[in-house]
Structure 1
């Protein structure tokens, strides 16, 4: 009986050793595949985004490491920019699945601008607060507070929009100074104040934009609207003329690929100017 017990122990030890060896081999192979996937991905980083060569190299990287979230995300974006969101979303969702802390706020940014789905965008931005509680995520170079300010403005929830603009502006001012705050934060907060009926606070923000940047068709357009509503027609006309000059010089709020929120067009400036002239 004692010999049988020792024999069983020996067999168990052999099985354990073999199993550990197999697990170690699998782990080593996974590490090697991940390193090779990263190498393949980085070697093609100079290729034009969305080109066949770039897409092929990204797919090769993902085949080597199916959890490679950065490569999965990059693969999806080419479809989105081609206007194929039905292909973009399932791929991007996989990137979020493998690395939510990094890519969920980025998905919110894309919901915001490409889908105009403000509620889903806000949900992803809110989730980022839970995923990274020790810092504020900054997809595409701006804080999630900045993006939430825009999303709530899109929903016409002015109180929430203004609250997030306040938080964003206060934090940026405290860290780097007011001169370094993104100018559109003041512009959009001003628009939120204007649309909510608080023209006095709106003017403060539009004047802030003009004071910091000098040339802003949007800020001058909205300030001219306020002055027009107050029947200060001469000042409104002068300002809308300045706004037209700034617009023609390219100094207006715009985005690549998509229309920005509250996009300003020449017809808006023309309509406002005609309305002012009719009252003079």
Structure 2
């Protein structure tokens, strides 16, 4: 029995010695060729949308890994910028977007213009980005962040109070979008902005025409408010104006108004605006 124990112990020691001397299995690769690096960097970024919340430490880690694999992949820098803009980390945001644009301007210059317009109210840089993107994609209407580039250029010029220039781009926007024959899907704020450019230049009948067209296709508190405001400027009957104001209030209470996450919408209508107009009748 004692010999058997010695034999078993010797056998186990020999087995351990043989195992320790054998080549360890490769559990994961540490070296990749250039094709593999690009492939895995892309997979890291594509996987973010499924596995991790934007801006989380886990997401940040994966983006860093993607950049280590392929520092020329623009999407990585854009993803780093996207989480920062929503948290108000302005300087870091634009650094990341600048890097993304330098690597792939056709994909990201319009997105940076979108940020300049809506988040930073930097209308000149927004227009510059939109114009330069247009040069990269001739005879094609771009939709950065799913928004027509001519609509955004019109908004930028409107906010610069360059109303004739804004009208030029709003006209292009509506001509392009109306090719489908259906204006119902166009956001109400597009009609509102187009009308505001005429209101501000004193062409009240033209402004009314744009607001009415918007109401016909997409009823919204903002459009009724601006129609009421225009009707007042045209010295229309008070009862007609008050009826419009009442509808605007009702729609606003139901959430039918233009608004935007993270930042205030241009010419966003508040209950205080409507009540001020009502009290002036």
Flag whether TM exceeds 0.5 (same fold). Answer: yes
Larger helix fraction of residues: 1
TM (norm. structure 2) is: 0.85
- Equivalent of 1:116, from 118, 121, 129? 121
3-state secondary structure, aligned to 1:179: coil
Give the Cα separation in 2 of the matches to 1:182 and 1:264.
Answer: 15
Alignment partner of 1:50: what SS? coil
Counterpart in 1 of 2:23? none
1:34/1:64 contact within 8 Å kept:
yes
**C-alpha separation in 2, matches of 1:65 and 1:96:** 16
Q: Take 1:102 and 1:40, find their aligned partners in 2: how far apart are those partners?
A: 19
| Corresponding residue SS for 1:45 | helix
In structure 2, how many angstroms separate the alpha carbons of the residues matched to 1:167 and 1:49? 35
1:72 aligns with 2:101: no
**1:210 is matched with which residue?**
215
Deviations 1:199-221 (A, max 9, x none): 1011111111111123x111110
Whole-Å Cα distance in 2 between the matches of residues 197 and 84 of structure 1? 40
Q: Which moved more, 1:176-185 or 1:44-53?
A: 176-185
Q: Aligned residue for 1:22?
A: none
Match of 1:254 in 2: 259
TM-score normalised by length of structure 1: 0.85
Contact in 2 for aligned 1:172/1:180 (Cα 8 Å)? no
Q: State whether residues 59 and 75 of structure 1, in contact with CA within 8 Å, keep that contact through their aligned partners in structure 2.
A: no
User: What is the CA deviation profile of residues 222-255 of structure 1, one whole-angstrom value per residue up to 9, with x for unaligned ones?
Assistant: 1111112233211111111110111111011110
Give distance in 2, aligned partners of 1:66 and 1:248: 49
Select the structure of larger CA radius of gyration: 2
The question of 1:41 aligning with 2:45 is answered: yes
Aligned residues: 248
1:224 aligns with 2:201: no
The 2-side partners of 1:205 and 1:43 are apart by: 44
SS of 1:180's equivalent in the other structure is coil
**In the alignment, what sits opposite 2:245?**
240
Residue 50 of structure 1 is matched in structure 2 by 55
Contact 2:198 2:206 in 1 (8 A): yes
Q: In the aligned structure 1, how far is the partner of 2:84 from the partner of 2:186? A: 32
Q: Which runs of 5+ in 2 are unaligned?
A: 1-31
